[in-house]
Structures are given as C-alpha cells and as structure tokens.
Amino acid sequence: MSDRSNPWQLQAIVCQLRAARNQWRTQNGRVSGEQGGRELPSRAAMADILEALCGALFPMRLGPVDLREESEDFYVGHTLDVALNALLTQARLELRYVARQGGLPDEGVDATATLLIQDFALALPGLRSILDTDVLAAYHGDPAARCVDEVLLCYPGILAVIHHRLAHHLYRAGLPLLARISAEIAHSATGIDIHPGAQIGRSFFIDHGTGVVIGETAIIGERVRIYQAVTLGAKRFPADESGQLQKGHPRHPIVEDDVVIYAGATILGRITIGQGSTIGGNVWLTRSVPAGSNLTQANLLHDDGTQK
C-alpha cells in the first residue's frame, strides 16, 4: 500500500539514482564529489549567451522589442559585457575539464580562457560583416524573400549560419565543446546540422534547410547555395587496429565557389565539387566532378540503372 504523504517514494528513488551515478563514475574513473561543483559547461547558459550575441550583432532586428536606435550602442555594450563574461565562465569550465581528463594541472586556465574570449570579442565585427553577406545571399537567392529583414527574422538557414559563424570561431580557438553545444542549439531549433569544424565561405545560403547535414571536415567556398535535406557527409569511417574510429582526418566534401546543390542530394567522402557546378535533387555522389558540371539523376545513371 502506498504512503499518501509520500506517493512518489522519493527517498528510495533518490538513493537508487545516487547508486547509478556512483556506479557510472566508478566505471569511468571518476571520484564522486571530488570537484564539489559543476564540472562541464551548461547548455542552458550557452543558449542565453547565443541569444544575447545575436541581439548584439543585429540589435534592431534580433534585440529587445522596445530598443530604439539612440540606445543601440548602450544596449550592444551592456549585452556584450554580460554575454562575454558568461562565455568566459563556460570557457573556464571546458578548459578545466580538459585538463582534468588529461591528468594535467589547471594552472593558467583562467588566463588562457580570458585570452580566448578576448580574441572572440575582437572577431565579432568581422563576423558581422560576413553574416551580412549571408543575409544578402539569402535575399537575392530566394524569389519569395520580400526584404532582407524578413530573411534575418524568419529564415532558419540564417539562424543556423549565425550560430555556425560563432561556433566555428570557438572551435578553431580550442573550445570544441562550447562550439558543439552552440551548433546543437541551432540544430534543435532549425533541423540544420552543421558541425562547428566545417569551413564555410562568404555569401552562404541554406534555403528551407530542414534535414541539412554538413560534416566536420567539409570545406565550402563562397556564394554556395544548398537546399533542404542535403548531406555533405563521410563515405566511410576507418578504424584503427583496436577497432576505434579514427578521428580528425579529412573525410567530407570540398565544395568550391558558386556551387548550387538541390534538395535531397547526398555527397559523400573527400571529393571535390568543382566551381560553378550544379548538383540536382536526390543525386547520390561519391566522386569528384570538374568545374561547371551539371549533374542530375538521369545523367548519372547507365541504361541499366547503375551509377556511372
């Protein structure tokens, strides 16, 4: 018979959850309670930071509803101060975690984190300039777009690219966990999955966007346009002698300047899509193609239905 004053049996559940945590920590070489505080960066904190950074980059479009132009600079300065200090806290957590995992002392972590976030702050004006080219590419590339403001406010591809530009800087700076959290927040909101390691040139436009996947080592040139459900992925995942997947080697496509990739195309492996090429919808491609190519399902198949 259940206790009406304690219908959830919380004491027993709490004890069982503690036992499960301790078992996991023991199996993975962690000592329960050794840190006495939060060990890893916070996804919720990063979500707040990214929202603030978006507002600081585009204050009159992505900032607060009651903001006026005469208050823009004050808002941007205050917002950046809060966001960058919060980002510094998260960077310290990641760097300390990495040091502990490597069995290294965490001396110097605070100074390193400060330098990294200072560099990130100094990069923001340049990132804004690049994002302006992305917004214009979306406006000029979509006949349904009535103005650039509509693109910035409404298009999921723009939100994903803003997050990617920020995340890519963190990734290259040596904060891959913060970068990945940033990318996955955009992925959850838009259905667009861009690994923060991917290198993407100016004037990049993802139209519609749902189901797009861009892998870690992909390299995308300038003025590239892709549509929903496009995959720039790996063809295979080589393993080492112990059966562990090898990480870090180039395994995703290179897409040169002025390429268009239509909906549902799957492009796999370290191949090159030459400048100015057009890849048709639902094409499955595992070989490089020269500049100026125009590939469709029809011209990729032999008469017997096999790929050329």
Q: For every one of its 308 residues, what pLDDT tens digit does the chain have, with 9 covering 90 and above?
A: 456 777 888 999 999 999 999 998 888 877 544 555 778 999 999 999 999 999 999 999 999 999 999 999 999 999 999 999 999 999 999 999 999 888 888 889 999 999 999 999 999 999 999 999 999 999 999 999 999 999 999 999 999 999 999 999 999 999 999 999 999 999 999 999 999 999 999 999 999 999 999 999 999 999 999 999 999 999 977 777 777 777 778 999 999 999 999 999 999 999 999 999 999 999 999 999 999 999 998 787 655 555 66
Cα separation, 17 vs 14, whole angstroms: 5
Whole-number pLDDT of residue 301: 60
Kind plus residue range of the DSSP H or E element containing 75:
helix 72-101
Domains 41-193 and 211-239+248-308 are alike in CATH topology: no
> Residue 187: CB partners within 8 Å, gap ≥ 6?
160, 193, 194
Cα separation, 23 vs 20, whole angstroms: 5
> Quick check: 164 and 199 in contact, CB under 8 A?
no
Is 41-193 CATH 2.40.10.120?
no
- CATH T-level fold of 211-239+248-308: UDP N-Acetylglucosamine Acyltransferase; domain 1 (2.160.10)
The closest of 242, 152, 235, 230 to 191, measured between CA atoms, is 230
> Quick check: 88 and 117 in contact, CB under 8 A?
yes
Whole-number pLDDT of residue 39: 84
Whole-number pLDDT of residue 222: 98
Q: What is the pTM of this model?
A: 0.89
Give the strands of the sheet with 225-226, arranged side by side. Answer: 205-206, 225-226, 260-261, 278-279, 294-295
> Quick check: 225 and 263 in contact, CB under 8 A?
no
User: What is the domain partition of the chain in residue ranges?
Assistant: 41-193, 211-239+248-308
Whole-number pLDDT of residue 106: 84
Is 179 exposed, middle or buried (CB count within 10 Å of its CB: 0-12, 13-18, 19+)? buried
> Quick check: 17 and 24 in contact, CB under 8 A?
no
- 30 — phi, psi (to 5°)? -100, 145
Cα separation, 181 vs 231, whole angstroms: 21
